[in-house]
């Protein structure tokens, strides 16, 4: 039996589904997370440099390097477990350490990522977070006391997740050390793998939420340009309606605006598309947590609905507005081109009519000239024939010169007229 030939990417694609396992986190633990993004667009990503930057961190702890062209890595660095992932637009580093510091969300826990190493990345921080994983207190008052001390009450979101396997909390504020804060209170009996999934989901929610908000920032920067284009289009449409400006001049301006709109749409298309994808991931990650309300507090889903979703709707509305303006400019251009073609057709018809009139005049003039030419040619021809026939007419018939001229005039004129007519018929 002939062996089947595998697709060159079969094993690579199958292994990709298992390439990013959830971490196993014991309780209590501390996790620090940072997402870095190139200072240029995603098209300028240098994945080789990203991998070299990871290796520079591993070298400080004497840890083994990942395989070439790797997009993920997990390994021990000192007393921390490091998880590194490379994505389309960013890279993430998460370090887990057993135990929780006496001081909640101590900035010293972030020292696993040295400042000089972060500065050498030539990248910008998208977000960073500190996560405190502790057992769920039996007394509800201890939980409320911890939440009140760690988070801002007006924006705090807290809920049971995964069938009350844990309580998660956060306020999405940046603390004095420059990090987000999230707390995970693990219920008794929840295993380390499930705890790891919860922590991973929180990191993903924060990352995708921040990246999608870049689209909102882009929308705010486009507000002035879109308003300018809207005014220009309205003015051009008014000129089209009133016909105060020549259609060709209006068409030139409209084509310029249309080209600028297309360029703006192309420049913003990546960010708008990425924002839409990140928004879907945020809601998906929240939904899989299966939140349950605790003591009337707002859940993560409700926080996003009240404060995050309006920004995303603004991005979607601006994207639709930009697309509608481009379509509007295109339709107006088609109308103007039709008007220009109609005007040019009318001009061509008028030009042809005037050419016909000129041709008719030229024909009449030509006929007049032909008549005059017959007279002129006949005049000279009669004289020539008279001079040639006079000696013979005088000797044979005794005719004088005047009589000879009279006798040859009609035949000569007839012959000249026939010759001119024949020449004209040959050319026409």
- 62-71 pLDDT tens trace: 999 998 888 8
Could you tell me if 407 and 324 lie in one domain? no
Could you tell me if 68 and 176 lie in one domain? yes
Could you tell me if 242 and 187 lie in one domain? no
In a domain, 340, yes or no: yes
Contacts of 164 (CB under 8 A, 6+ apart): 187, 292
The total number of structural domains in the chain stands at: 3
Mean pLDDT of 95-123: 90
Supply the pLDDT for residue 40: 66
In a domain, 387, yes or no: yes
State which residues form the domain around 94: 20-192
Could you tell me if 312 and 249 lie in one domain? yes
* Residue that is last in its domain, among 159, 192, 225: 192
In a domain, 173, yes or no: yes
pLDDT interval class at 59 (50, 70, 90): very high
- Whether 47 contacts 85, CB under 8 Å: no
In a domain, 356, yes or no: no
Instruction: Kindly state the tokens that stand for 129.
Output: 């977070």
In a domain, 383, yes or no: yes
Could you tell me if 180 and 31 lie in one domain? yes
Mean pLDDT of 143-150: 92
CB atoms within 10 A of CB 85: 18
pLDDT interval class at 423 (50, 70, 90): confident
- Reported as a single tens digit per residue, the pLDDT across 268-280 is 889 999 999 999 9
In a domain, 203, yes or no: no
Could you tell me if 216 and 247 lie in one domain? yes
Could you tell me if 337 and 370 lie in one domain? no
* Residue that is last in its domain, among 292, 319, 350: 350
CA atoms of 154 and 194, how far apart (whole Å): 29
CB atoms within 10 A of CB 333: 17
Instruction: Kindly state the tokens that stand for 130.
Output: 């500190």
pLDDT score of 223 more than 50: yes
Q: Which residues of 30-60 are buried (b: 16+ CB within 10 A; e: fewer)?
A: bbbbbbbbbeeeeeebeeeebbebbeebbee
H helix intervals, 62-191? 115-119, 140-150
Span between the terminal Cα atoms of the chain, in Å? 86
pLDDT interval class at 416 (50, 70, 90): confident
Mean pLDDT of 213-224: 91
pLDDT interval class at 173 (50, 70, 90): very high
Instruction: Kindly state the tokens that stand for 310.
Output: 């309006």
Could you tell me if 305 and 184 lie in one domain? no
Percentage of the chain modeled with pLDDT above 90: 47
In a domain, 307, yes or no: yes
Across 5-19, 165-179, 340-354, 374-388, the highest mean pLDDT is recorded for 165-179
Supply the pLDDT for residue 411: 81
- Whether 66 contacts 73, CB under 8 Å: yes
Could you tell me if 335 and 411 lie in one domain? no
Could you tell me if 383 and 292 lie in one domain? no
Could you tell me if 170 and 261 lie in one domain? no
Could you tell me if 219 and 182 lie in one domain? no
Percentage of the chain modeled with pLDDT above 70: 89
- Reported as a single tens digit per residue, the pLDDT across 309-332 is 999 999 999 999 888 888 888 777
* Whole-structure pTM value: 0.76
Supply the pLDDT for residue 295: 85
In a domain, 13, yes or no: no
């Amino acid at each position: 039996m002939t062996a089947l030939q595998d697709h060159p990417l079969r094993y690579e694609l199958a292994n990709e589904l298992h390439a990013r396992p959830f971490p196993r986190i014991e309780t209590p633990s501390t996790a620090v997370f940072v997402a870095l993004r190139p200072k240029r667009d995603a098209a300028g990503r240098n994945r080789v440099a990203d991998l070299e930057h990871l290796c520079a961190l591993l070298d400080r702890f004497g840890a083994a390097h990942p395989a070439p062209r790797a997009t993920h890595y997990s390994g021990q660095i000192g007393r921390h477990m490091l998880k590194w992932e490379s994505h389309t637009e960013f890279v993430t580093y998460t370090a887990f350490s057993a135990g929780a510091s006496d001081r909640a969300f101590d900035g010293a826990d972030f020292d696993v990522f040295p400042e000089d190493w972060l500065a050498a990345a030539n990248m910008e921080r998208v977000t960073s977070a500190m996560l405190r994983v502790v057992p769920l207190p039996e007394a509800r008052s201890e939980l409320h006391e911890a939440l009140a001390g760690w988070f801002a009450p007006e924006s705090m979101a807290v809920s049971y997740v995964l069938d009350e396997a844990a309580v998660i909390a956060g306020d999405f504020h940046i603390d004095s050390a420059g990090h987000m804060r999230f707390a995970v209170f693990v219920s008794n009996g929840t295993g380390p793998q499930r705890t790891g999934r919860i922590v991973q989901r929180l990191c993903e929610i924060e990352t995708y939420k921040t990246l999608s908000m870049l689209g909102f920032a882009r929308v705010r920067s486009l507000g002035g340009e879109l308003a300018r284009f809207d005014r220009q289009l309205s003015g051009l449409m008014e000129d089209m309606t009133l016909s105060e400006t020549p259609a060709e001049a209006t068409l030139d301006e409209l084509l310029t605006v249309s080209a600028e709109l297309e360029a703006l749409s192309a420049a913003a298309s990546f960010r708008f598309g990425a924002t839409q994808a990140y928004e879907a991931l945020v809601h998906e990650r929240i939904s899989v947590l299966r939140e349950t309300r605790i003591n009337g507090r707002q859940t993560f889903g409700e926080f996003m609905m009240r404060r995050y979703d309006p920004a995303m709707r603004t991005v979607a509305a601006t994207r639709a507005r930009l697309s509608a303006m481009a379509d509007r400019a295109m339709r107006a251009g088609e109308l103007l081109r039709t008007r220009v073609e109609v005007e040019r057709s009318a001009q061509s018809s008028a030009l042809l009519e005037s050419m016909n009139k000129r041709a008719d005049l030229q024909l009449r003039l030509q006929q007049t000239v032909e008549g005059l030419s017959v007279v002129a040619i006949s005049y000279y021809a009669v004289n020539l024939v008279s001079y040639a026939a006079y000696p013979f007419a005088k000797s044979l018939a005794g005719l004088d010169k005047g009589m000879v001229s009279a006798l040859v005039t009609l035949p000569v004129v007839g012959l000249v007229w026939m010759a001119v007519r024949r020449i004209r018929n040959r050319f026409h």
